[in-house]
Structure 1
Amino acid sequence: MLRVVTFLVVFFAFTLFTLASPLPENGAIAESFEKRVTHTGKGTWYYPGLGNCGYTDSSSDDVVAIAKSRYGSGGNCNQWIAITNTANGKTVYGKTRDSCPSCADGDLDLSPAVFSQIADLDTGVISISWNFMSKSWSP
């Protein structure tokens, strides 16, 4: 009888500790879902300057312009993006700092610093896949 009581006490104590474990915040769940959305499109390069996010960047900065339709009111400003050249599998990270009026929804305009890490600038246009990193992520 003592063994049964001991077993039950241990079992219920373990169950209570398990149920009391903290759950991830809704924001953490949303960030992980956001990262999983992979977009595809064309990658081109441009000479950055004063972008719509309000920062002046140069060609040596790891910055990206997203399609005007995706830019909206700038909610993705300063958010990092993982960009993969689908032809060679190389991946690079760039920070959203501008909008691209001529880009289709899945296209990105990359600074020369970003583009040159995944393709030669002479290539001009590449096929890419990309996703936003969580808002708190930084390389």
Structure 2
Amino acid sequence: MRFSTPFFAAVAAFFAVGVQANPVAAPEANITARTTYFSGDATFYYPNGNPGACGAPMQNSDFIVALSSAHYHDGAHCWQHLNVNYNGNNIDVTIGDLCVGCATEQIDLSSGAFEALAPLDVGVIPVVWNFK
């Protein structure tokens, strides 16, 4: 079977139009579109080697976060990670505790994690965070 040059030109034009009509977003764009970001205050606490609500002892230097009951979900998120951003600085923290007194979007960081973002004497910082 022989195909003519006009046939190949028509097929090439068809595929070119098809690619332009169906753009595919970069993988990073898809991930960003599906990620929910939360804005709230971050405070800090001293775990002092005590077991958190997730059941394991935690140190002050560990990058640990305690979530409000609205996000803790009875421990469903234990040991998952959050990305926390403050003033362009990002840290990765592990969910290890429940913050009973926290507002819905508020998080409570271990003193070590908080210090990676701001001096402890600041006390409270506005952050943006998301589940990883």
Bin for the TM-score computed over the shorter chain: 0.7 to 0.9
Tell me the amino acid that sits aligned with residue 77 of structure 2.
N
Percentage of pairs with the same residue: 33
Q: What is the distance in 2 between the residues matched to 1:127 and 1:96?
A: 19
Give the C-alpha shift of residue 32 in structure 1. Answer: 6.2
Aligned to 1:69: 70
Change (3 A) 1:5 1:34: closer
- In structure 2, the gaps of 5 or more residues are 16-29
| 1:22 alignment partner in structure 2 | none
Partner of 2:115: 116
C-alpha distance in 2, partners of 1:78/1:107?
18
> Aligned equivalents of 1:41 and 1:7: distance in 2?
57
Contact 1:34-1:132 at 8 Å conserved across structures: no
Structure 1 residues without counterparts, runs of 5 or longer: 9-13, 15-28, 134-139
Equivalent position of 2:61 in the other structure: 60
Q: d(CA) in 1 for partners of 2:46 and 2:6?
A: 74
**Are the structure 2 counterparts of residues 72 and 60 from structure 1 closer, same or farther at C-alpha, using a change threshold of 3 Å?**
same
Give the superposed CA RMSD.
2.8
- Name the structure 2 match of 1:90: 89
Between structure 1 and structure 2, the one with the greater Rg is: 2
Distance 1:114 1:38 in 2: 19
Distance (Å, rounded) in 1 between the aligned partners of 2:112 and 2:34: 25
Name the TM-score, length of structure 2 as normaliser. Answer: 0.73
Partner of 2:22: none
| TM-score, length of structure 1 as denominator length | 0.70
Secondary structure of the residue that 1:105 maps to in structure 2?
Answer: coil
